[in-house]
Amino acid sequence: MLTCLISIKNIGSVLIALLLVWLAAGCDFPRRPRAVTISNPPVVRPSKPSDIKTLHDAMGTIMTICREDLRLPTPDPIELRLYENEASFASYGQGWKTLPIDLENITAFTHSGTIHINLGKTEGERWEKLIGLLAHEYGHAIQASISDRPTGAWFNEGFASWVAARVLDSLGWRGYALALERAKIELINHYGALKRLNDLDWHWRAVLDGPKGHLETYVLAFFATARLIDRQGLPATMEYMRTGDFKKSFHMSAQEYADDFAVHLSSLIPSRKTHSAVMQKPEWKIGDQWTYAVKHAGDDPKTIREIAREDKFEGEASYVVQSSKGEVVRSKKTLERLAILKAGQVIERRVGSSSNFSWPLTLGKQWRSNYSWQNLVTKTTHEVSLAMVVSEIGNVNVPAGTFLAARVQRYNSASGRLMSEYWYSPQTKWIIKLRDYSDVVFTDNELISFNVH
């Protein structure tokens, strides 16, 4: 009897401990998920991201493109289970023994063709921004509909990421070639930390939980799988998913491809050539003007930026750069952004000192940029922590001509993801080319013309 009482007491202690862990994690109590079935959706082709308003719009878009553009098998109907909080996602999605902290790096997963989504991590995000996540999970559902034969972890996640990249490319929001270019740059920048593909099959979760885990797993898998599909074709890829036999499908073993890919990746590392150019901060004049071609879904195809006036912002001498979207206030001393104005009112402002440039620019120069950006309309603050590097100096072709330019790359300090890159030319006194990877839609701007004093 005494033993029984002690056991009951111990069980109670365990339950209390589990409850405390849940509360410490800021989680609600687990609730059953809401099941949503998407069946035979109409053809959906949004012209711009904001056209996506609902889950049905998003899934209809993905299924339309996979069926009509990519010619992939399209599971239909597809079931999604939506979990309203972290505890629900852990308990009902994975099993009662799973705690929210066990799934802190997981936003969604697909099992037996059913897509499970943690709304605790996606709440507040626009459907247009979630379409990449949904397309990735639908890629897993496609693979499950073909066969339940086991394939490698890197291939599973790489194929799902490939489907997402192709969907965004078909929408005209994020070019496939540009997605590959971004992945290549990130992998080269972190080459020394990367595992071999076959090692990922055994250590996927351990690598994913590391500081730059997403880059060292999902980005690497996407780049490797994209190369495999682009070289071998979709029929061979479908055959591999049906049979699970890598060698029979691709005429090489998984180990042989891993070796070949490792050699390929190392060959992409550029040889650093010394360049003597030293680029000083330019001096702008009122009336200096730059015109850019804009590749961004939903935006005007052209934008003009002009130095409208000199002013002072919170006591700091500044330039006011005018465009069709409003005015940007930049420091005369550093050219860093200080604020954004609309109709003469400050709607966004910087808190702290940013260093998106570090004058003078020289090849290989590296620095950090840590600051906050406040949106006074939404009353939100965005923390920015970037690792910066001048990765190249050389001649760059844009519609306005060919210019000697410094390529500045901005990496997220925590994740290692490439957030943006821009090319500065002393001849034009400003950026001649910009790529921004931070939104669901990549921005790619190139200088068309300029007039500087």
Domains in the chain: boundaries: 23-267, 289-451
Of 450, 112, 130, residue with least CA distance to 306: 450
Percent of the chain with pLDDT over 70: 91
With b meaning 16 or more CB within 10 Å and e meaning fewer, what string describes 403-416? bbbbbbbbbbbebb
Residue that wins the pLDDT comparison between 416 and 105: 416
By CB neighbour count within 10 A (0-12 exposed, 13-18 middle, 19+ buried), where does 441 fall? buried
Please give the C-alpha separations between residue 423 and each of 302, 385, 401, 404, 407, in angstroms, as whole numbers. 18, 20, 13, 9, 4
Lookup: tokens for 326: 């409003």
Neighbours of 9 (CB within 10 A): 10
Strand partners, 111: 114
Please give the residue that has the higher pLDDT: either 375 or 296. 375
Task: Kindly tell me if the per-residue pLDDT of 430 is higher than 90.
Answer: yes
- Is residue 248 over pLDDT 70? yes
Quote the tokens at residue 144: 């499950």
Alpha-carbon gap, residue 236 to 245, rounded angstroms: 10
Q: Which residue has the tokens 């490439």?
A: 418
> For the ranges 29-43, 65-79, 177-191, 210-224, which has the lowest average pLDDT?
29-43
d(CA 305, CA 418): 25
- Amino acid identity of residue 62, one-letter, is I
Q: Phi then psi for 112, rounded to 5 degrees?
A: 55, 35
Window from 119-128, 312-321, 341-350, 435-444 with minimum mean pLDDT? 119-128
pLDDT on residue 271: 78
Q: What is the mean pLDDT of residues 109-133?
A: 86
**Cβ-based neighbour number of residue 253 at 10 Å:** 11
Fold of domain 289-451 = YmcC-like fold (2.40.360)
Q: What is the pLDDT of residues 197-239, one digit of tens each?
A: 999 989 998 999 899 999 999 999 999 999 999 999 999 999 9
Q: Kindly give, in sequence order, each residue whose CB lies less than 8 Å from that of residue 370, ignoring residues fewer than 6 positions away.
A: 352, 384, 385, 386, 413
**Nearest 10 degrees: Cα torsion 391, 397, 400, 402:** 90
pLDDT at 14 over 50: no
Q: For residue 23, which amino acid is it?
A: L
* Adjacent-strand bridge partners of 436: 420, 443
Alpha-carbon distance 298 to 320, whole Å?
25
pLDDT of residue 99: 52
Average pLDDT on 429-446 reads: 92
Calculate the alpha carbon distances from 19 to 26, 95, 101, 121, 225 in Å.
Answer: 11, 16, 13, 21, 42
* Interval 428-446 mean pLDDT: 93
Q: What is the pLDDT of residue 8?
A: 39
Q: CA angle 410-412-413, nearest 5°? A: 110
pLDDT value, residue 92: 81
What CATH class has 23-267?
mainly alpha
Nearest to 297 by CA among 47, 97, 129, 95: 47
Percent of the chain beyond pLDDT 90? 72
When pLDDT is cut at 50, 70 and 90, the band that residue 6 belongs to is very low
pLDDT for the residue numbered 104: 65
